[in-house]
Chain A
Amino acid sequence: MPEPSLTLDSFRAELAECLFLPADEVDLEESPLDAGLDSLRIVTLLERWQAAGVDVTFVELAERTTFAQWWELLTTRQRGAGHADT
């Protein structure tokens, strides 16, 4: 089975894992900086999303200041966009 497409739920779940939070407590308006993310964690997430078919770079993620903006970016870059649930 190919990797399932990225969904908001899976996005939240992956962030939650990085942030040691339950998925429903992830605040999408928080900034990656304030959340205490480091480069390695961002790279780890990036690699997963790239593997899921999202064409996005480290700089593009790192320069955005909320997780909501990340989600926005991911949905526009997803190959075969349109699957994304919003």
Chain B
Amino acid sequence: MPTPERHPLLAAQEGIWTGQQLDVDSPAYNTAEYVRVHGPVDTAVFDAALHHVVAEAEALHATFVADDSGRPWQFDTPAGDWHTHIADLTAGPYPHAAALAWMDQDMARPVDLTRGPVFGHALLRTAEDEYLWYHRVHHIALDGFGLSLVARRVAQVYTALMAGEPVPDSGFGTLESVRAEERAYRDSARHAKDHAYWTDRFADRPPVATPAGRSALPARTFHRHATDLAPAEADTLRRVARELSVTWSEVVLAVTAAHLHRVTGAPETVLSLPAMGRLGSVSLRVPAMVRNILPLRVAVTADDSLRDLAVRVSRELRAGLPHQRHRYERLRRDLRLVGGQRRLSGPGVNIMPFAYDLRFAGHRSTVHNVSAGPVDDLALNVYDRSDGTGLRLALDANPDLYTEGEAAGFQEGLLNLLAEAVTAPDRRLREMDGSTPLAVPSASVLDGGPLPAPARPVLSLIAGHAARRGGAIAVEDGDRRLTYAELFGAARDIARSLAARGVGRGDVVAVVLPRGADAVTAVLGVLLSGAAYCPLDPKAPADRTAQLLADATPALVVTTKDRAPAFPDHTLLLLDQPITADVRAPSGPGPADLAYVLHTSGSTGRPKGVEIGHAALAHFVAGASHRYGLRPDDRVLQFAPLHFDTSVEEVFLTLCTGATLVIRADDMTDSVPRFLDECARLRVSVLDLPTAYWHETAYAVSTGAAALPSCVRTVVIGGEAALPERVERWRKAVGTSVALLNTYGPTEATVVATVADLHDPALLPGDVPIGRPLPGTRAAVLGGELYLLGDALAHGYRGETPDNVRFGPLAALPGSPRAYRTGDLVRLGEDGQLRFVGRADDEFKISGHRVQPAEVESALLTHPGVREAAVVGQPLGDGTRRLVAHLVADDVAPSGIREHLRAMLPSAMTPSAVEFLDRLPRTASGKIDRIALSALRAPAAAPSEPGFPSAVSPLERTITGTWQQLLGIAAVAVNDDVFDLGAQSLQAIQAANRLGVELGRDVKVAWLFQHPTAAALARFLAETETQTAGDSDGAQPLTPPSGLPPTLFADTVLDPGIRPGIDRPPHHTPRRILLTGATGFVGAHLLAELLAATAAEIVCMIRADTVPEAAARIATALARHGITLDERTRSRVTALPSDLARPHLGLTRDALGDLAATCDAIFHNAATVSILRDYATLRAANTESTRQLLRLAAVRTTPLHYVSTLSVAPPASRSPEVPEAFLPPHDGLRYGYQQSKWVSERLLEQAAGRGLPVTVHRLGRVVGPSGTGYVNEHDFLWSVLRAGIPAGIVPELFEDEVWTPVDFAARSLVHLSLDPAALGGPVFNHATLPRVRLADVYDWVAEYGYPVRRLPLARWREQLPGSADTAATTLAFFDSAEQATAADLRLGHVQADHVRAGLAGSGITCPSVGRDLVRRHLDHCVTTGLLPAPAGGGRSRQPS
């Protein structure tokens, strides 16, 4: 058969293909309509007409298959023999309903695009003179217009055939003409113009508001609610549209936008409009799939009338329509609105103006849509009914997002609004009735409830503790302790001294002090004076401090003598000088006075000072201390410096509760283990950590490198989004008994506004909410954006700044209360908890600092060489970002730029990378194209380059790999100074922590600063290692047991670059599977089982030079194991010559890339099995192959299933149990093979920890299949038997062991790996069968007719005649002196619950393993000549 011709897909088809791949078994892309023919139909002629038209429609003769690179192609495949389903339903009671039910069933069947046909037809008789012609087509072949072309043509052909007239020409154009037109368009100036229009129109990526407030993948089905507009209503609609000079469809769009506004409160809606995309195109005459989607932005306010909105819609539409050929999918990709909750547009409105007036041999007909394809969210379909009965409105809803009731309610509300709006086109929306049908108010409001008690001023609370519990410790700072009485007294002295200088209410006092008891005292002193404090970073660059002082205009600066010269123009109060105090007590602040001014990044390019009043502070303290459950006996660590608002939480919550504030020393965070040790020593009970630092803590705790002290009962985190992966790690390692509070809040709402209990066991894995508002605080969600309300809001920003508009009345709520618009996009879950989604503007966080690009850009522009600057936060693979500056500059070095910035900005705002461009990319309207900039350099997940110079040591590679990942740079050389590359201190903490885990030793942060190149650090680490090895207390968490090869531990480190790559949708039906070791005993059976259990192509990696050689090896192996395959099945086996022991698995990079892109699962079964060889000679084939395959699997997060051995476990003498879990190092690892498998498991363990889908299958002794008795001649035990039986002696090797027939093992393994219902793992011990006792085996051997004596191993070996046969290797094994203690081979109880649970209900069982099996094995040995026939003729019992 000639190979069918193949063609690239049209862009619209690619969109459908991609969608289908997300859920290959989904029938959602079936589209269908039925035509009700009012009159008799000659079914035979109709069938002939259908076959005639199908033959003409090129698009219906197609199958779709992806090539090895994953690119789909359309193949010209004749539809072949297909039948129209013809049925007469009039005999039943409800023919029409029966017809619709039949259609529903037909629609529910997914189409296999690789096989076709992509269409189906039915002719159903529903009344004497009424037929329904049902026509289904996969959306990849036809769009709605294409369907209409086909329907029109069927009517024409049927009519001609009935009249006995010649069938006129179809007039259909070719698909090739459509393809050619699309190619021409892609290269045209028009395309460039269209692209510019859309990217500019959506450059700000407007939030998409929907009633559900979240998005979901299209479901397999949808709810539909259809309503007909009566002719009179439809006429009114058309008349009003004419009056407004718009079309009726624009009125429908306007009303839909208005209703969405009412339901979501969003100031703007973005609708999805399917567009024909055919004006002026050859495709007007080609049944094909070309339709596009136009995103339509409509701003709506409550003051708009229908007239306003309809005109707005009409203008927007007319501006967009000329650009309708630009692909929607492309725009989403360019705007980076793909994946997750990101989307470009919301509910769909599909206007179908084509009144089909089809006549079938003169008989009238009406057309009815069955499905227009998958429904993402909501889709309103509007049909102009051809029979003059008005309009039909069908609302489709995604059932994953809306209940039927909600969808019906939405439609009802929409229709009510439509009716009212056309009656009064000038009535404002706010004056209209319209019930709000979905139970969602116009703005979703979350109320944290009332405060538990009225908020009391913080100073009064602290004064109360000083008065009543004056001896209690308020602050502990190293050896220094301040009681409440002492603290309050010292603070009062400062207040008096400030008063003596005329400082008091209404003033601001800058506090420039490091974290410490003095700083706390100073802050309280300032507040007692009546003034507000403004904390400044004592380490900030002078320019920065000057800028903040200019903004804050403090009346005085509190600092120490050594810092005094930095403030020549300010009145100073030096804390380390004797204080002159006024005798008069200052008046103290009132609730309306400011408490503090704290600076945060500003969008105008300057930092902005947030003014927090005493009332807000008191309000926050009352709500938060109640919510956190602080107690007077708590010891709270002050982690944050004063210029972070977390310090407000730490200081005031603690002191207002009467608890003890424990000041963190600077060196406490040298390493995470050190940090936690110190927390234990200081008996800290409440930790308040920046999320970025907590991420590191969670990682260290989860790997066992550090432990959370038992004194810690509550951990509060905040500052940026917590990574779900770290939350999972934490929950696994720490459990749920320690409270983990995820806090969210902008400085503008006083530290914290919402809190979530991440320790709540009910939270699903991967779900990291930011929770509910604190008592006394309210949150409102409008158009996806979060607004905060309540008494904890700031007064505003200091001075004049346009950012002040963020504070204002919120008109969407009753009474228009004052609110702060956060700019954070959130989602409100059904559980009433908020979840952070992203930012509405360019702001992002680096190491917990808010960064407005404008602020960094204006600092960059002060450099004389910089002409233009744009700063973006480039997302890195692990969910964090790095700051990248793009510059147009005259001859300046990146180091010069960074130096310049370091003098002006805090380190988090200094870009990690500086890129030079000839000009900045701009959108058509002249704005900097930040999306294009982010795309300029895709952050590499940095797989360590295989081609790296070999001179680099593994330790250096580990260090550079860690930095590559942290910095998001593709290559870090061993001599690169990481700080020149832009490393920041938080990243140094991260690097130290990760290195500590990877290397199994403590790595201090300071060392990374002292040794900033990988080469220097590696040298230093190597030196200290030899030193600490001699230390008596050098307890290292991962000290290798003695006697293991030194390379072994270096090999257990999985390169940091191997991490989950592109997320793939789970493939329930794998199409391509990679298998290693297919020629082995287990491998051949695995191959057979994979072929039987899936329809996939199995790519077998075979050690060979050519494909024929590799194929021949597979054929030989299958034959040897008695496995036969039919021709069809054999065609699914692909032999891939390769070599697992060589770099890149002996493959080219292209071949590796192809495998990574196309394989849906990997089974790694190959290993060099040798009981004699040492680790060094096995590591390449057995360990490095696992590493290479993990690297391959990581690219697309492909599942990797590893075949391991129970022999990696410690023997019974060392461990009574073999857990179904990864194993720590143990001194039972004695043989090279066992070691090589254990190291592989260690690599898989780390891979699993990083989120790669891996499973490990440990097998015991794998014996021949239960049916055939085939014996694996390389098997250790059978080698022993073959050596011993002829000599009449057998050794006492062990008591009993786990046997598994190979066919059962293969079936279980494939089932546990591929069946999505088979949960459990990642480790599976295949040991569900009763153990086989060696004594029994010898009994059965004797019964069979071989008289054997049992001897202790050593004597057996002595008495065994020297032999040069195949058992020589086995014997050599026993010759090595140490092996005499054979009792060590026995394993303890082997847990196998994962396997048992996974096989439950699968129907996979195994016949008993015992006497019969051993007999069959012995039969096999005799038949094949492996053993001489027994003298007694025992084998006659088993007829062959």
* Chain A contacts to B: CB under 8 angstroms: 17, 20, 31-41, 43-44, 58-59, 62-65
Contacts and interface: CB of A to CB of B under 8 A. Distances in A.
Contacts of A32: 279-280
B245 A62 contact: no
Nearest to B382: A40
A38 B273 CA distance: 11
Contacts of B280: 31-33, 62-65
B386 to A, nearest CB: 12
A62 B284 contact: yes
Interface string B309-344: 000000001111110100000000000000000000
Residue of A39, A58, A63 with highest tally of chain B CB at under 10 A: A39
Nearest to A17: B245
Contacts of B248: 40
B276 interface: yes
14 contacts: A31-B280, A32-B279, A33-B280, A36-B318, A36-B322, A37-B321, A38-B275, A39-B353, A40-B247, A62-B279, A62-B284, A63-B281, A63-B282, A63-B285
Nearest to B322: A34
B354 A59 contact: no
A63 B280 CA distance: 4
A56 to B, nearest CB: 14
B249 interface: yes
B317 A39 contact: no
- Say whether chain A's binding surface is mostly helix, strand, loop, or mixed: loop
A37 B354 contact: no
Given A33-B280, A34-B322, A44-B247, 18 more contacts: A31-B279, A31-B280, A32-B279, A33-B324, A36-B319, A36-B321, A36-B322, A37-B279, A40-B247, A40-B353, A43-B353, A59-B285, A62-B278, A62-B280, A63-B280, A63-B284, A63-B285, A65-B280
Contacts, number: 55
B937 to A, nearest CB: 37
Nearest to A43: B353
Contacts of A36: 317-322
A43 B245 contact: no
B245 A20 contact: yes
A43 B282 CA distance: 19
Nearest to B314: A20
A17 B355 CA distance: 23
A82 to B, nearest CB: 28
Contact of A41 (B247, B275, B324): B247
Contacts of B351: 39-40
A50 B324 CA distance: 27
Contacts of B278: 62
B244 to A, nearest CB: 11
Nearest to B319: A36
A38 B351 CA distance: 10
Interface string B247-278: 11100000000000000000000000001101
Contacts of B322: 33-36
Contacts of A44: 247
Interface in B346-383: 351, 353-355
Contacts of B245: 17, 20
A62 B285 CA distance: 10
Nearest to B273: A38
Contact of A43 (B275, B319, B321, B354): B354
A33 B321 contact: yes
Tell which of A40, A41, A65 has the most Cβ of chain B within 10 Å: A40
B281 A40 contact: no
Query: Most A CB atoms within 10 A — which of B249, B280, B351?
Result: B280
Contacts of A59: 284-285
Contacts of A35: 318, 322
A46 to B, nearest CB: 10
Contact of B249 (A17, A34, A40, A63): A40
Closest 3 CB pairs of A and B: A36-B318, A40-B353, A33-B279
Nearest to A63: B284
Contacts of B284: 59, 62-63
Contacts of B285: 59, 63
A34 B190 CA distance: 11
Contact of A38 (B247, B281, B282, B354): B247
The residue in A17, A31, A35, A41 that gathers the most chain B C-beta atoms within 10 A of its C-beta is A41
A15 to B, nearest CB: 13
Nearest to B280: A65
A64 B281 CA distance: 8
Residue among B245, B279, B322, B355 facing the most chain A CB atoms (10 A cut-off): B279
A36 B316 CA distance: 10
A17 B241 CA distance: 13
A27 to B, nearest CB: 14
A17 B276 CA distance: 23
Contacts of B320: 36
A10 B68 CA distance: 59
Contacts of A62: 278-280, 284
Contacts of A63: 280-282, 284-285
A39 B318 contact: no
Contacts of B276: 39
Contacts of A41: 247
A45 to B, nearest CB: 11
Contacts of B282: 63
B1335 to A, nearest CB: 86
B1115 to A, nearest CB: 58
Interface in B749-791: none
Nearest to B149: A59
Contacts of B279: 31-33, 37, 62
Interface string B1235-1259: 0000000000000000000000000
A58 B280 CA distance: 12
Contacts of A43: 353-355
B361 to A, nearest CB: 21
Nearest to B245: A20
Nearest to B321: A36
A58 B320 CA distance: 21
Nearest to B324: A33
B1192 to A, nearest CB: 48
A39 B319 CA distance: 15
A35 B284 CA distance: 18
Tell me which of B245, B247, B285, B351 has the highest count of chain A C-beta atoms within 10 A of its own C-beta: B247
A54 to B, nearest CB: 17
Nearest to B325: A33
Nearest to A31: B280
Contacts of A31: 279-280
B1083 to A, nearest CB: 60
B1226 to A, nearest CB: 73
B323 to A, nearest CB: 9
Nearest to B282: A63
Nearest to B276: A39
Q: Which of A32, A33, A35, A44 is the most central at the interface, judged by chain B CB atoms within 10 Å of its CB?
A: A33
B321 A58 contact: no
A34 B319 CA distance: 9
